[in-house]
Amino acid sequence: MPNDRTEVSRLSTVLLWLFVINLGVALGAGLYESRIVVPDWIDTAASSPAWNPDAAREDNTGLRFWVAVTTVPLTLLTLANLFAGWRAPTELRRWWLGTATTALVERALTLGYFIPTMVRLIQVENSPDAVSSATQWAQLNNLRHFLVLAAWLAAIKTFSLLYTRRGRKGRG
């Protein structure tokens, strides 16, 4: 247990490790999906843009991948790292809470907008409204990528500060 917020517990360190790893996987997978998979769902290259719900349903990335990688694990890791960051020593607290808060904003957007919108989209056929909604979803997804990138970089910075701090203590 941390003594008066001067040390970071082993559990908190493991939570930070897992957070860094999970954010990195989420970023890479999200960029891959946007670049490789989503173009099969939304054809904007054609003279008349189209939404392909069959392709989205067939890929089913939400249940086949995202629920196991981010919906449950990243959400739980975000909450756990908020707690760990709150208990962290002063020089780590700002970065740790910053990364967890950024991830929390991303999680709120994902759970409040991205998942419900995709659930609705896979239930409708191609129409101008569906194309508009899917295109907006894909464009806003860039904001989500930015938030995950920012959270990941801040988590790496927190990680770096944690181990720099431990190195100083070990030499002292």
Q: What is the pLDDT of residues 53-91, one digit of tens each?
A: 999 999 999 999 999 999 999 999 999 999 999 999 998
Nearest to 138 by CA among 24, 27, 25, 40: 40
Nearest to 144 by CA among 30, 16, 47, 11: 30
Top pLDDT among 91 and 103 is at 103
Average pLDDT value over all residues in the chain: 93
Residue 125, C-beta contacts closer than 8 angstroms, at least 6 positions apart: 51, 53
Please say if the pLDDT value at position 21 is more than 90: yes
- pLDDT at position 7 is 81
Determine the structural domain holding residue 79 and report its residue range. Answer: 10-165
Segment 49-56 mean pLDDT? 96
- pLDDT at position 66 is 96
Count other Cβ atoms within 10 Å, centred on residue 109.
Answer: 16
- pLDDT at position 171 is 54
Does 5 map to a domain?
no
Does 4 map to a domain?
no
Q: What is the number of residues in the chain?
A: 172
Does 126 map to a domain?
yes
Does 141 map to a domain?
yes
Domain tally, the chain: 1
What is the distance between the alpha carbons of residues 152 and 150, in angstroms, rounded to a whole number?
A: 5
Segment 146-163 mean pLDDT? 97
What is the distance between the alpha carbons of residues 77 and 99, in angstroms, rounded to a whole number?
A: 11
- pLDDT at position 6 is 65
